[in-house]
Amino acid sequence: MEAIVLIGFMGAGKTTISRELAKALDYQRVDMDDVLVDRIGPINVYFEEHGEPSFRVHETNLLKEAVQQASVIATGGGVIMQKENQEILADKTVVYLKTDPDVLVERIRQDKENIRPNAANKNDGEIKHLFFSRENFYEKLAKVTVDTSHRTPEDIVAEIREKVGV
């Protein structure tokens, strides 16, 4: 039993799918953004006061801890950009939740709970641009890719289980 790491852009469904998958497998769940909020406070405030590079250090430290346990890990959308994280994830069971960019923008706009510093001040085109600049990293790190654009969590979880073999 090893960690299953969900990657994907903001709005891909990492939190929702991690809940359903962890429940189905009876695994522990680590939602990296939630743990980081416990450690450093609201992410948007932290970005403003300390900057993104400092946030990324906390994120990498947490990723190192999280992958030690047999758990389903919901990462933050930017986790794939750091070289150290890429190295950590290279031999892990990484599942890319792939989502149509228009759907991503729609979900990010609808989400009133999370204030995402890398989306809040961007227009739709800029958000998509950020997605396209990261897409290759998601694709390269993925062992398994599952589309989440217009599907139910049950469907998505079933496809992950089939492809990962859990």
What residues form the annotated binding site?
11-16, 33, 56, 77, 116, 134, 151
β-pairing verdict for 71-74 and 93-98: unpaired
Based on the shown chain and the rule CB under 6 A, indicate whether residue 77 belongs to the binding site for ligand S3P.
yes
Least distance (Å) between residue 33 CB and ligand S3P: 5
Q: Degrees (nearest 5) of the Cα angle 122, 126, 111?
A: 50
Residue keyed to tokens 């794939």: 80
Q: Binding site for Mg(2+), residues?
A: 15
Return the number of other C-beta atoms located less than 10 Å from residue 113's C-beta: 4
Q: Binding site for ATP, residues?
A: 11-16, 116, 151
Q: Between residues 43 and 94, which has the closer beta carbon with respect to ligand S3P? A: 43
Return the number of other C-beta atoms located less than 10 Å from residue 119's C-beta: 22
Q: Between residues 10 and 146, which has the closer beta carbon with respect to ligand S3P? A: 10
Count helices and strands (H / E) in the chain: 8, 5
Based on the shown chain and the rule CB under 6 A, indicate whether residue 117 belongs to the binding site for ligand S3P.
yes
Task: Choose among 13, 1, 6: nearest CA to 106.
Answer: 13
Based on the shown chain and the rule CB under 6 A, indicate whether residue 76 belongs to the binding site for ligand S3P.
yes
Residue nearest to ligand S3P (CB): 76
Least distance (Å) between residue 92 CB and ligand S3P: 18
Based on the shown chain and the rule CB under 6 A, indicate whether residue 10 belongs to the binding site for ligand S3P.
yes
- Candidate residues 78, 94, 96, 156; the one interacting with ligand S3P per rule CB under 6 A: 78
Q: Any residues with CB less than 8 A from the CB of 147 and at least 6 apart, and which?
A: 98, 99
Q: Catalog residues that contact ligand S3P under the rule CB under 6 A.
A: 10, 14, 33, 43, 76-78, 114, 116-118
